[in-house]
Structure 1
Amino acid sequence: MSHTAIVPDHATLRNYLLQHRLSLYYSKPVLAHIQTYMAAATAKGFRGKVVDLAEYSDCHRTTLGHFLAEGKWDESVLQTKVKTDSLRQVMQASRQTAEPLFVIHDDTIAQKTKPSSQAVAPIELAGFHHSHLLGKVVWGHQVQATVVGCANLSLIHSIELYDKTKAHPDGTVYSKIDRVCDMAASLPLPPHGGYVLVDSWFTCPRVIDCYAAAGYHLIGALKTNRILYPQGIRTSVQDFAAYIRKEDVRLVTVNGSSYWTYRYEGALNEIDNAIVLLCLARAGLWRTKSPACVPVHRCFPGDGNHFCLLRQSLAD
């Protein structure tokens, strides 16, 4: 298979690794393998297979596969370097441009074809997870990723497998919410304000409070059954949307699509004060007695199951 390299040559990658003093932690063979993986992963047509890696190495593909499975090296050192360098670059960009920092959390499932009960060699840390995209439980790895950005700069901060077996000292499961909150505590104070973008899984009081303490506002998706309290009346977002009048909304256009937007500020369950932005399709909205809300995943963070955003209301 033909590849087109994005990184010019291995010397560029080698200089990058030496610049970060990784030679103090890894042997020359380990650095050579890391260099191979970086060159292959940044090439056009990379499929994530060992056979693709072999095209960028003098070693046989079985050697590369053995290193992935049995290699003795501490990957946390490399992960720490990536996290530190990504934050350093976006902080520098924020100071130079006076733009706010952005932190994006998301998770996905790398689905596998066979469960471990049917596989000859079970895959480590694979398990059954509910896929919101497919609407069913699938077998595979659940990956949690974080991206940091500022202005036109966007960098990977971390990509980690979610391990259901990991637990706190008291025996409780170390959840995805725990990981996000721990990351919030480790982030630097944004010099010109900061925002964290999440989907509905992470839109909860605990994550909001952790990021508020770190100096960040939260913008996240909400499910249609989330409870609001307009005028003190308990109702779901879906039911409340049916009573929105045309004179209560404003028309906005995002990515060529137009939406009516309604701004609610008030209480949610376990949240005293928040701003909820409801976005409704422009076409035919008030032609029926009960207007329907539509997903806005093309415009805002979140997937097709969500249609509104939450941002914590912080006093300036």
Structure 2
Amino acid sequence: MLTRIVHPSPALVTFCERLGLPLTEPQKRHLINLADGILVTEGKKTLANIQRQFVEAPDPSNIADFLRISPWPTEDVRRRLQRFIVQRALEIAEAKGDPRVILVAVDDSIAEKDKQTSHLEAVDWHYDHLEGKKGNPLYKKGMAFIVVHVLVGSVHLVFDISIYLREKTVRRLNRRRPKEKRLRFGSKYRLVRRALEALKPLLPPGWAVYILCDRWYTSRRLINSCRRQGWHLLGTIKANRKRDGVRVDQKERALRHRRYERVTVTAADGDRRTYLVRELRGKLYRVPQPVRVWVSRRHPRDQRPVYLMGTDLALEGKQAFRWYGARWWDEVDNYYLKELLGLGDFRVQPYEAAERWVLAVLLAWNYVLWRKGEAELATWREDRAIAAQEAPRVRGPSPADIIRQHREEHAVIWLASACRTAIQLGEVKPVLQHFLRLSVLPAGVPP
């Protein structure tokens, strides 16, 4: 099998050094190698496949032991990573002169596993509210997780990924655990609130913060919690949600004589779509402050309108829809995390080991977003320099471009190292054995 990594990526090492991780040198080396292997490995990100990417690498069991039994502070590493990425995002946004607005999007998803999986503590059956329907529920086996995405101006990052376990599952796992190692159940609301509380001290004053979520999270508790923090919430609600004691769908039907306001929103692919919008104002049940509800339809006969609720009474409808469209990054992140970075490819049994695997994926993904943000800042400066010349602007790199560039850097280093070694030794066979990790070369290989 063709190896890919001669030594860790210098850019990834620089990123990890700037985090100031409280790890020993061997632990830091294991974490960097794991994140590097996640980015380079194609296909399933199993520990064995990751180990095969290195020209010189320890046994896969060493990586598993790093996740399972190595004594390193998982939460401290998480907090250091979060602090650095938020601070750097704020610096880049300030340098580019972006609006002082921070959008925090909350979403959940399921990293699917095989139905026969039975011994991985982080894996369970979960209800899929996207494909499941009323009267026909659909359950999937996998790891349920909650992602908190942050958009600082135009700089995007993933602040946190939390594993969600059902209360019934937590009780079952705790029966086999000693008292000091028992897990604590946290509802999805509690996990989201915990992440937002960790984000709060990292945000400077003077920035407007909006929490974006779908109707599964727009609860009175989250609304009131955000308002106590001085933040605003922007999220969809169900049609049966009551405003001033009356369902919002009934209230909207009573306003059918009122003209629609046309709101045009530009999607991420540049496509422009116009929505027909009516606005309601009032108080939701057990929410002390008044809110605005925008009822949007794609056409006048649309029977499935969307109800978008916002706590900022001064926010215009067009701006609200444009900002809520930033939740598209949720889908982008979830695709990369699950499909390209192998968030659900772990095969370690303990919950704590799976949690560390998720942290390694979070570090690898934020490294990609960090390089993307730095490249966008450099591109922005180039655009300013050539603006007077009316030259065509350079498009900033996508996350896929950064991952491809990361792999190409390793390919250049690998080939240069192999050629240099062949020149020094004056023969090819030892080089092939070393760089392809072959104990015996196949027949027919020239000397």
Q: TM-score range by the shorter chain?
A: 0.7 to 0.9
Matched-pair identity in %? 19
State the structure with more CA Rg: 2
- Is structure 2 residue 285 aligned with structure 1 residue 269? yes
Unaligned runs of 5+ in 1: 295-306
Tell me the equivalent position of 1:219. 234
Q: Structure 2 counterpart of 1:138, which letter?
A: K
- Rounded Cα–Cα distance in structure 2 between residues aligned with 1:61 and 1:151: 41
Unaligned runs of 5+ in 2: 133-137, 172-183, 316-447
SS at match of 1:160: strand
* Contact persistence 2:101–2:152 (CA under 8 A): yes
Aligned match of 1:49 in 35, 43, 46? 46
Task: Answer 1 or 2: which has greater helix percent.
Answer: 2
Tell me the equivalent position of 1:292. 303
* Contact persistence 1:185–1:210 (CA under 8 A): no
Provide TM-score, normalisation by structure 2: 0.56
Provide the aligned length of Structure 1 versus Structure 2. Answer: 283
* Contact persistence 1:128–1:137 (CA under 8 A): yes
Q: Counterparts in 2 of 1:253-268, with a 5 A limit?
A: 253-254=264-265, 255=267, 256-268=272-284
Change beyond 3 A, Cα 1:234–1:26: same
Change beyond 3 A, Cα 1:142–1:71: same
* Contact persistence 2:146–2:192 (CA under 8 A): no
* Contact persistence 1:148–1:156 (CA under 8 A): yes
* Contact persistence 1:94–1:191 (CA under 8 A): no
* Contact persistence 1:242–1:292 (CA under 8 A): no
Tell me the equivalent position of 1:28. 25
Aligned match of 1:280 in 278, 284, 297? 297
- Rounded Cα–Cα distance in structure 1 between residues aligned with 2:188 and 2:195: 11
- Rounded Cα–Cα distance in structure 2 between residues aligned with 1:3 and 1:205: 53
The structural deviation recorded for 1:189 is: 4.9
SS at match of 1:202: coil
The structural deviation recorded for 1:159 is: 0.8
Q: Structure 1 counterpart of 2:192, which letter?
A: V
Tell me the equivalent position of 1:162. 164
1:208-248 deviation per Cα after TM superposition (whole angstroms, max 9, x unaligned): 2222222211001112222234xxx62243x4444443743
Tell me the equivalent position of 2:112. 111
- Rounded Cα–Cα distance in structure 1 between residues aligned with 2:44 and 2:109: 17
- Rounded Cα–Cα distance in structure 2 between residues aligned with 1:209 and 1:59: 51
1:189-213 deviation per Cα after TM superposition (whole angstroms, max 9, x unaligned): 5423111111112212221222222
* Contact persistence 1:40–1:46 (CA under 8 A): no
Provide TM-score, normalisation by structure 1: 0.77
Change beyond 3 A, Cα 1:61–1:182: closer
- Rounded Cα–Cα distance in structure 2 between residues aligned with 1:149 and 1:174: 26
Tell me the equivalent position of 1:297. none
SS at match of 1:248: coil
Aligned match of 1:175 in 150, 173, 187? 187
* Contact persistence 2:223–2:287 (CA under 8 A): no
Q: Structure 1 counterpart of 2:23, which letter?
A: Y
Tell me the equivalent position of 2:403. none
- Choose between structure 1 and 2 for higher RCO, CA contacts under 8 A separated by at least 6 residues: 2
1:98-124 deviation per Cα after TM superposition (whole angstroms, max 9, x unaligned): 4211111111122222266xx3xx111
The structural deviation recorded for 1:80 is: 0.8
* Contact persistence 1:104–1:197 (CA under 8 A): yes
- Rounded Cα–Cα distance in structure 2 between residues aligned with 1:77 and 1:293: 45
Change beyond 3 A, Cα 1:279–1:69: same
Q: How big is the alpha-carbon RMSD for the aligned residues of Structure 1 and Structure 2? A: 3.1
1:285-315 deviation per Cα after TM superposition (whole angstroms, max 9, x unaligned): 24xxxx5124xxxxxxxxxxxx221111458
Q: Structure 2 counterpart of 1:198, which letter?
A: C
Q: Structure 1 counterpart of 2:196, which letter?
A: A
SS at match of 1:108: strand
Task: Answer 1 or 2: which has greater strand percent.
Answer: 1
- Is structure 2 residue 7 aligned with structure 1 residue 11? no
- Rounded Cα–Cα distance in structure 1 between residues aligned with 2:215 and 2:35: 33
Q: Counterparts in 2 of 1:77-96, with a 5 A limit?
A: 77-93=76-92, 95-96=94-95
The structural deviation recorded for 1:278 is: 1.2
